[in-house]
Structure 1
Amino acid sequence: MGAPSATTDFDASAGKVTSPAGLAHIVLRTANFASMVDFYTKFLGGTITYGNDFLSFITYDEEHHRIAIISVPGTAPKQPTSSGLEHVSFSFTTMHNLLLAYRQRKQKGIEPVWSVNHGPTTSIYYKDPDRNMIETQVDNFASVEEATAFMNSEHFVENPIGTDVDPEDLIARLQNGESDKSLMKRVEIGARAVPDLVAM
């Protein structure tokens, strides 16, 4: 559906709601303001568009901000077993860039808590100073249709979690001449339980 016009019937019965054009930003409330701002600026290779002593807008691309950090008096520490947002995810276009960012973060003391080939993606997970989970990922398939087909395969039905990987091993294989496509192929290990995300 295009832009509204004078002839748009805003009261017409809708089969579905008009979808957004994109996900604009995420706002994180914290009692750990300085550490969170420092972490996300480093983690994303970002810059602060605007900041003061309680609010910071961080960007890494053409958007004016992708992450905002706000310090709110009375904010309590995160309860790791409560309901809520499990993680946010940032995508890379190549395995090379995913692994390069991993190594660059490692140089800055930012280590992952879990690395896994889910099948549709290869993903490296981190936790910020408030223990919020962040995924960095690369798509393992060239198209959404191929990824969807894998997600409907017997392998994914048996194991929708994935197979753990070692980023250092992936880097070594890349440096030894293996292709991104070869690294992206999931090794099938059969059924597995959901890992203990709280303990990570």
Structure 2
Amino acid sequence: MGSLGHTDFDDVGTKVLSPSTLAHVVLRTGNFQKMVDFYLNFLGGTVTYGNDFISFITYDEEHHRIALIGIPGTGPKVPTSAGMEHIAFTFPTLSALLLAYRQRKARGIPPAWCVNHGPTTSIYYKDPDGNMLETQVDNFDTIESANEFMTGKYFAENPIGTDFDAEELIQKIKDGVPDADLKKRVEIGPRGLPSDF
């Protein structure tokens, strides 16, 4: 900002101004109605605007977080092509993450992978087109603590994480095990990506 609160458009600084937030993701699909139904269920969302080829879906204060565009002739996803790997959605608590998992499971949306990455405890899903979706809870109370873990020896040894069973985690919560203990990653040594990625 220049003097008197005016923006100095000639001061290009040392880096580009970062956005304030990530607003939405738009997905092209050949399975339009199936994808709309999936995302409404998956997100517990509503359609802000929709017609027979476009749908704007929200689940919070933003007018849309996911937009779907049905384009005739769109072929199936090619899993080995370059592009977006997944979209991640954060939950405020471990219990909220696991309740949403149970609710999705009851609606026929099973998880594809449950893993404690270290910085997050994450449950992954696939939409009808094969796009990967991550639901997560932060495992650390501060960014500094998460960064410290990510620059430490355990994350360098295994940046992928340790798989877990969501039902076992729910039982541990019911048994009174503190969230802090459940969010702590079990160290298993080096590992690569799962074979089905």
TM-score, normalised via structure 1 length: 0.95
- Aligned residue for 2:179? 180
- Aligned residue for 2:137? 138
The structure-2 alpha-carbon separation of the partners of 1:5 and 1:70, relative to structure 1 and needing over 3 Å to count, comes to farther
Distance in 2, matches of 1:77 and 1:15, equals 42
Distance in 1, matches of 2:17 and 2:83, equals 25
Q: How does 1:1-200 map to 2 (within 5 A)?
A: 7-198=6-197
Instruction: Give the Å deviation of 1:9.
Output: 1.9
Distance in 1, matches of 2:42 and 2:98, equals 13
The structure-2 alpha-carbon separation of the partners of 1:39 and 1:10, relative to structure 1 and needing over 3 Å to count, comes to same
Distance in 2, matches of 1:23 and 1:180, equals 28
Instruction: Give the Å deviation of 1:5.
Output: 7.3
Letter in 1 for 2:133: I
Distance in 2, matches of 1:54 and 1:158, equals 46
SS of residue paired to 2:47:
strand
The structure-2 alpha-carbon separation of the partners of 1:72 and 1:151, relative to structure 1 and needing over 3 Å to count, comes to same
Instruction: Give the Å deviation of 1:74.
Output: 1.8
Letter in 2 for 1:8: T
SS of residue paired to 1:157:
helix
Letter in 2 for 1:152: T
Deviations 1:156-184 (A, max 9, x none): 10000000011000000000011111110
SS of residue paired to 1:61:
coil
Q: How many residues align?
A: 197
Distance in 1, matches of 2:22 and 2:145, equals 23
Instruction: Give the Å deviation of 1:127.
Output: 0.2
Letter in 2 for 1:114: W
Deviations 1:67-106 (A, max 9, x none): 0010112211110100000000000010000000000000
Which structure 2 residue ranges, 5 or more long, are not aligned? none
Letter in 2 for 1:7: H
Aligned residues with identical type, % of pairs: 64
Instruction: Give the Å deviation of 1:6.
Output: 7.2
TM-score, normalised via structure 2 length: 0.96
